[in-house]
C-alpha cells in the first residue's frame, strides 16, 4: 500500500520540482512548438503505430521490460500495464528527464508522486504494449505492509452513535486533543453514508449502508440525509455528524458496514474521488480572470482547509484532462466563521487564449457540471505556529493560495504581528483583487501589500522589474526575537529564483513553503 521509491522523483535538479525537499511540484517545462497537449491528442489519434507491435498486445516479463530503457526505446509499467512512452517524450510537460526515471522499470510509485490524478490510460492508450507478467510474491509483500500500518494506526480512533426520536448522531473520537486538518465529506447515494476525516497525512473512513428495516421507502432515507450537519470539538478531538430524521421514530440499527468501513489510508494511496459539482456563477475579476462558484451535490459537505488545492477533471476531445486549482473565499474579507453547511467552492481561474482546459471552463454555462476532487497539498496551519512575521511572495495566479492565508493570518492567528504580500504581475490591469487588498491594508495595520510590475505604464509609481536580491532584502526584515515564515507561489522560474535568493539570505527550508499550484 505504501511503496516508497528508493530514488527521488522528480530529480532534485528537475524543473518539475519547484518546492523544497519534502514537497512535490506540479510545474511544467517549456515544450517545443507543435508539442502541446492538443498536438499529442491529434498525433495519438493519427493511426500511427506508437508501440512498434502493429496493434498486438503482449505479456511483458521483467527481463523484457528492463531491455527498453533508452531515450529511443523507452517502456514503463504503471499499475501492471506496460506502455511504450518513446513517442510521448517530446510531449511530456515534465520533460524527458522525468520519463527516463521510469525507463525499463515499474514506474507506478514515481508516477503517483506527481501525476497520479492524471488519466494515463486515456493519455497513453495508443502506447499500450500489454500487461506485465507479475509475480505473486509482490502482492503478498504489499499486503503485509498494509496490514502492519493498519495495526499501528487503528488505536487512534473509535466511533459510536446514538439517537433520539428526531435525530441520529455519529460520533468519531480521536486521542489527539488538537486536530489540525479535518476534511468532512458527507456523500450520499440513496442509502449510503461515506464519511472521510483527514488528520495529518491520514484519512479515516466510515462507510455505512443506512437502510433501516423500519423504513419501507428508500426515498425517505434520502430525504433524511439532506438535513445533516457536521460539528467538531478541537480541544477534545471529537467530530459529530448529526442527521435529522424526516420520520419520527427509533432506528433498529445504524446500518450495515460497507467495503473499507472503519479503516485508514494514507493520502497518497487513496483512490481519487470526484464529485460532479454544478456551476452556479462566473464572476469577472479582471480582463482575463474569473471566479467560478461550484456547488457540490446535494447531501455533500466539502470543507477545504487553507492552502489546499483541488483537481478539476473533464473530457475534452475524447481525452480526459485534469488540472489543479486553489479555492479562494468568496471575498478577501470573508468571515472566518462560515456556516458548517457553506461548502460552495470558489475557484479563481485565469483564462488563456490558447488554454485547452481554461477555454473549456470558460465555455461552461450556469447549471453545467464539472468533476471536482477532494483537497490536496502539503500546507498545514501548524507551519504558522508561533510565527510573528509572515511574508507572502506571489506572481500572477500564484496569488490564489495566498488569499485564504491572508484571511487566516489577519483574522484567526493573533500571534502574527505582520503579514506582508509582495505581488508580482506584468501590467497594472493584471493585479487580482487589488481593490480588496488595498482596502484590507488601509483598515488593518497588521497587513501590508506592495505590487511589482514587469511592464508598467509611465504613470506607475510602485515597484518595477522582477524579483531580485535587493528587492527581497528591502521587503523582508527579521526583527530580533521574531519568528519569520515565507510562502511562495508562482511560475516555475519565479519560484526557483525566489527560493534560491531566500536561502542566500539565511532562510532555512523549515522557514519556507512553496504552494503546489
Q: Domain of 283: which CATH number?
A: 2.40.30.10
Which pLDDT value is given to residue 271?
64
Highest mean pLDDT out of 147-151, 197-201, 325-329: 325-329
Give the full edge-to-edge strand order of the sheet including 167-174. Answer: 157-163, 167-174, 238-244, 228-233
Long-range contacts, 473-478 (Cβ 8 Å, 24+): 473/505, 475/391, 475/420, 475/422, 475/450, 476/391, 476/420, 476/502, 476/505, 477/389, 478/389
Average pLDDT, the chain: 78
Q: Quick one: 78 and 122 in the same domain?
A: yes
In this prediction, residue 494 carries a pLDDT of: 94
Question: Mean pLDDT throughout 460-470?
Answer: 95
In this prediction, residue 194 carries a pLDDT of: 63
Report the predicted TM-score, pTM, of the whole model to 2 decimal places: 0.65
Residue 476 shares a structural domain with residue 366: no
Quickly state the pLDDT bin for 181 (edges 50, 70, 90).
very low
pLDDT at 406: 96
Among 324, 351, 376, the domain boundary falls at 376
Q: Report, as an integer, the average pLDDT of 267-278.
A: 76
Quick one: pLDDT band at residue 496, thresholds 50, 70, 90?
very high
pLDDT (mean) for 18-30? 44
Residues 404 and 499 in one domain: yes
Strands (E), 338-475: 345-350, 369-372, 389-395, 418-425, 447-453, 463-464
Q: What is the pLDDT of residue 20?
A: 38
CATH code assigned at 43: 3.10.120.10
* 298 and 356 part of one domain: yes
Assess whether pLDDT exceeds 80 at residue 354. Answer: yes
**Residue 7: pLDDT band by 50, 70, 90 thresholds?**
very low
Q: Which of 321, 317, 434 minimizes the C-alpha distance to 370?
A: 321
Task: Output the domain CATH number for residue 169.
Answer: 2.60.40
Check whether residue 291 and residue 264 sit in a common domain.
no
- Distance, in Å, from the CA atom of 56 to the CA atom of 347, rounded to the nearest integer, reads 44
Residue 249 in grid coordinates: 421514530
Across the range 285-289, mean pLDDT stands at: 96
pLDDT band of 178, cuts 50, 70, 90: very low
The grid coordinates listed for 303 are 470543507
- pLDDT higher than 90, residue 374: no
Are 125 and 53 in the same domain?
Answer: yes
Do 440 and 372 share a structural domain?
no
| Residues 240 and 286 reside in one and the same domain | no
332: closest CA among 447, 422, 173?
Answer: 447
pLDDT band at 182 (very low <50, low <70, confident <90, very high): very low
In this prediction, residues 22-35 reach a mean pLDDT of 59
303 and 283 part of one domain: yes
pLDDT at residue 29, rounded to an integer: 63
CB atoms inside a 10 Å sphere around CB 435? 9
Q: State the residue range of the domain holding 254.
A: 158-212+225-269
Confidence of residue 26 (pLDDT cuts 50, 70, 90): very low
**CATH code assigned at 429:** 3.40.50.80
Confidence class for position 147, pLDDT limits 50, 70, 90: very low
Q: How far apart are the first and last CA of the chain?
A: 27
Q: What is the pLDDT of residues 75-134, one digit of tens each?
A: 999 888 899 999 999 888 878 888 899 999 998 887 876 666 677 777 888 899 988 875
Tell me, yes or no, whether 486 lies in a domain: yes
The pLDDT of residue 189: 40
The β-bridge partners of 291 are: 283, 348
Task: Quote the CA–CA distance of 33 and 25 in Å, as a whole number.
Answer: 24
Q: Is residue 120 part of a domain?
A: yes
Min mean pLDDT across 94-98, 170-174, 188-192, 299-303 is at 188-192
Give the model's confidence band at 137: pLDDT under 50 very low, under 70 low, under 90 confident, else very high. Answer: very low
On whether residue 11 sits in a domain, the answer given is no
Same domain? 248 vs 279: no
Confidence of residue 291 (pLDDT cuts 50, 70, 90): very high
Average pLDDT estimate for 375-387:
87
Average pLDDT over residues 469-492: 93
Determine the Cα angle at 299 with ends 189 and 373, to 5°: 80
Q: Is residue 208 included in any domain, yes or no?
A: yes
66: pLDDT confidence band, cut at 50, 70 and 90? very high
Higher pLDDT, 238 or 368: 368
Based on the fold, state whether residues 261 and 278 are members of the same structural domain: no
Q: Give me the mean pLDDT over the 141-166 stretch.
A: 51
**Based on the structure, what is the number of domains in the chain?**
4
Residues 412 and 307 in one domain: no
| Position 31 in a domain | no
Q: Is residue 142 one of the residues assigned to a domain?
A: no
Last residue of a domain, one of 376, 395, 430: 376
**pLDDT given for residue 1 in this prediction:** 29
Amino acid at each position: 500500500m505504501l511503496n516508497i521509491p528508493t530514488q527521488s522523483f522528480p530529480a532534485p535538479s528537475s524543473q518539475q520540482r519547484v518546492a523544497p525537499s519534502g514537497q512535490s511540484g506540479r510545474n511544467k517545462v517549456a515544450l517545443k512548438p507543435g508539442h502541446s497537449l492538443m498536438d499529442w491528442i491529434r498525433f495519438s489519434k493519427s493511426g500511427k503505430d506508437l508501440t512498434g507491435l502493429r496493434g498486438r498486445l503482449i505479456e511483458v516479463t521483467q527481463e523484457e521490460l528492463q531491455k527498453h530503457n533508452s531515450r529511443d526505446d523507452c517502456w514503463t509499467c504503471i499499475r501492471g500495464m506496460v506502455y511504450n512512452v518513446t513517442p510521448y517524450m517530446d510531449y511530456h510537460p515534465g520533460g524527458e528527464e522525468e520519463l527516463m526515471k521510469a525507463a525499463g522499470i515499474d514506474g507506478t510509485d514515481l508516477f503517483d508522486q506527481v501525476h497520479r490524478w492524471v488519466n494515463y490510460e486515456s493519455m497513453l492508450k495508443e502506447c499500450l504494449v500489454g500487461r506485465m507478467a507479475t509475480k505473486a510474491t509482490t502482492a503478498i509483500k504489499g499486503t503485509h505492509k498494509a496490514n502492519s500500518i493498519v495495526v499501528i494506526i487503528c488505536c487512534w480512533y473509535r466511533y459510536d452513535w446514538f439517537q433520539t426520536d428526531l435525530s441520529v448522531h455519529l460520533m468519531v473520537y480521536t486521542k489527539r486533543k488538537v486536530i489540525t486538518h479535518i476534511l468532512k465529506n458527507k456523500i450520499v447515494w440513496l442509502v449510503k453514508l461515506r464519511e472521510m476525516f483527514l488528520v495529518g497525512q491520514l484519512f479515516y473512513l466510515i462507510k455505512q449502508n443506512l437502510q433501516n428495516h423500519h423504513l419501507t421507502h428508500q426515498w425517505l432515507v434520502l430525504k433524511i440525509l439532506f438535513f445533516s450537519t457536521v460539528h467538531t470539538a478541537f480541544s477534545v478531538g471529537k467530530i459529530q455528524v448529526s442527521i435529522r430524521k424526516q420520520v419520527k421514530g427509533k432506528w433498529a440499527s445504524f446500518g450495515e458496514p460497507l467495503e473499507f468501513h472503519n479503516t485508514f489510508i494514507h493520502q497518497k494511496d487513496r483512490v481519487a474521488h470526484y464529485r460532479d459539482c454544478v456551476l452556479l456563477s462566473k464572476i469577472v475579476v479582471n480582463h482575463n480572470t474569473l471566479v467560478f462558484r461550484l456547488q457540490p451535490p446535494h447531501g455533500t459537505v466539502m470543507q477545504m482547509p487553507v492552502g489546499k488545492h483541488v483537481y478539476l477533471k473533464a473530457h475534452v476531445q475524447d481525452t480526459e484532462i485534469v488540472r489543479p486549482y486553489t479555492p479562494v473565499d468568496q471575498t478577501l474579507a470573508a468571515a472566518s466563521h462560515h456556516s458548517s453547511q457553506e461548502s460552495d467552492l470558489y475557484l479563481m481561474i485565469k483564462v488563456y487564449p490558447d488554454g485547452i482546459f481554461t477555454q473549456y471552463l470558460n465555455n461552461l454555462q450556469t447549471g453545467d457540471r464539472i468533476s471536482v476532487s477532494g483537497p490536496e497539498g502539503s500546507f498545514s496551519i501548524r507551519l504558522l505556529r508561533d510565527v510573528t512575521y509572515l511574508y507572502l511572495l506571489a506572481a500572477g495566479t500564484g496569488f490564489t493560495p495566498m488569499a485564504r492565508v491572508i484571511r487566516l493570518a489577519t483574522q484567526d492567528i493573533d500571534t502574527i504581528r505582520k503579514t506582508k504580500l509582495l505581488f508580482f504581475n506584468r501590467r497594472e490591469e493584471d493585479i487580482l483583487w487589488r481593490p480588496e487588498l488595498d482596502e484590507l491594508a488601509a483598515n488593518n495595520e497588521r497587513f501590508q501589500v506592495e505590487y511589482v510590475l514587469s511592464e508598467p505604464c509611465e504613470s506607475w509609481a510602485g515597484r518595477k522589474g522582477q524579483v531580485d536580491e535587493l528587492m527581497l532584502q528591502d521587503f523582508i526584515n527579521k526583527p530580533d526575537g521574531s519568528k519569520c515564515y515565507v510562502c511562495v507561489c508562482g511560475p516555475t522560474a519565479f519560484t526557483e529564483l525566489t527560493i534560491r535568493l531566500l536561502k542566500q539570505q539565511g532562510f532555512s527550508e523549515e522557514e519556507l513553503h512553496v504552494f503546489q499550484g
